[in-house]
Amino acid sequence: MTHDHTDAEIRPFRIDVPQEDLDDLRDRLGRTRWSSEIPGVGWNRGVPLDYLKEWVEHWRTSYDWREWEARLNELPQFTTTIDGQNVHFLHVRSPEPSAFPLILSHGWPGSVVEFLEVIGPLTDPRSHGGDPADAFHLVIPSLPGFGFSGPVRKPGWDSFRIAGAFAELMGRLGYERYGAQGGDFGAFISPNLGRADRDHVAGVHVNAATMGFIPFGDVDEATLSTFTDAEKVRLERLNRFLSEGNGYFQIQGSRPQTIGYGLTDSPVGQLAWIVEKFKEWTYPSDELPERALNRDRMLTNVMLYWLTATGASSAHLYYESMHSGNWPTPSAVPTGVAVFAEDVPIRRYAEQSNNIVRWSEFDRGGHFAAMEAPHLLVDDMRGFFRGLS
Instruction: State the catalytic residue, choosing from 63, 178, 305, 318.
Output: 318
Has 184 been annotated as catalytic? yes
The distance of Cα 201 from the centroid of its chain, to the nearest Å, equals: 20
Integer CA distances (angstroms), 134 to 97, 175, 334, 371, in order: 12, 17, 18, 20
Instruction: State the catalytic residue, choosing from 88, 106, 316, 367.
Output: 367
Strand partners for 100: 136
Instruction: State the catalytic residue, choosing from 134, 184, 343, 380.
Output: 184
Has 318 been annotated as catalytic? yes
Q: How many CB atoms lie within 10 A of CB 6?
A: 7
Q: What angle do CA 372, 126, 137 make, to 5 degrees?
A: 70
Distance CA 314, CA 258 (A): 13
Residues 88/142, Cβ–Cβ less than 8 Å? yes
Distance CA 351, CA 144 (A): 29
Write down the number of H helices and E strands in the chain.
16, 9
Has 197 been annotated as catalytic? no
Adjacency order of strands within the sheet including 77-82:
11-13, 77-82, 85-92, 136-141, 100-105, 178-183, 201-207, 334-339, 355-361
Residues known to be catalytic: 184, 318, 367
